[in-house]
Structure 1
Amino acid sequence: MKKLNDVCIIDDDHIFIYGIKRLMKEVNFGDDILVYENGKDALNGLKLHLEAGNKLPSIIFLDLNMPIMNGWDFLNDFCKIDTSELNDTVVYIISSSVDPRDLVRIKSYPIVKDYILKPVTVNDLEVIQKEKVA
């Protein structure tokens, strides 16, 4: 299967990050994986990434519950970035929360493609990969 270019993981759980990176390697998911531990670091890092002439990641895996800046605050600020690059980026909410209010709230963000309950599986990644490279 064809690899995606850039992928971004925004999560403060080191075990989750380790696990999803191993799964990505197993299914040949992406070339470059950017990792940030909170929304603020991600926002700053992605802005610098753009300023350096790079494209935004094609996929962002975003946790909702993080210190410093949570996933909701990240989404609010990320969607305000003034670039056409946002049209090529999709966000997948990755969470261990099954709060129905979260499922309703994500619908107000067109950039959010889906909500995936942790742990992410090989099948989850393969489905995302097929959708994105199709």
Structure 2
Amino acid sequence: MKRLILQLWRTSPDQPNLAATPFLMASTAAAMSIDVEIHVIGSTVDLFIKDNPKNQQIIAPSNRPLSAFIEDAIRTGVKIKVCSTALRDRQLELGDLVEGVSEVIGMVTMIDLATDSNTTVLTY
């Protein structure tokens, strides 16, 4: 099966209009029956912290909060996998993140998944 991995590396709630794009891309691909994963690296973990007020920023022209795009991706079956180092560095646990974050993985697993021959990787 075809897999799409969206690596979130520079995506930030500090730029909400840009942050919505990878979630919209992920939801669209999932609706096309593509196996979609979002790999959360470094500071992008902030997007998934429960009750992060920055995720309530309204995205123009949709007039929806950033959190709605994240929820859409999760609802459409996108798997959210968070880097173990990103969590450790911020003293966070899986329970500190929004419901729907499916797994904590390390860099070796991320690289293994990203280099599979049936996988396309987009980095945001």
The TM-score with structure 2 as length reference comes to 0.49
- Larger RCO (alpha carbons 8 Å, 6+ apart): 2
The TM-score with structure 1 as length reference comes to 0.46
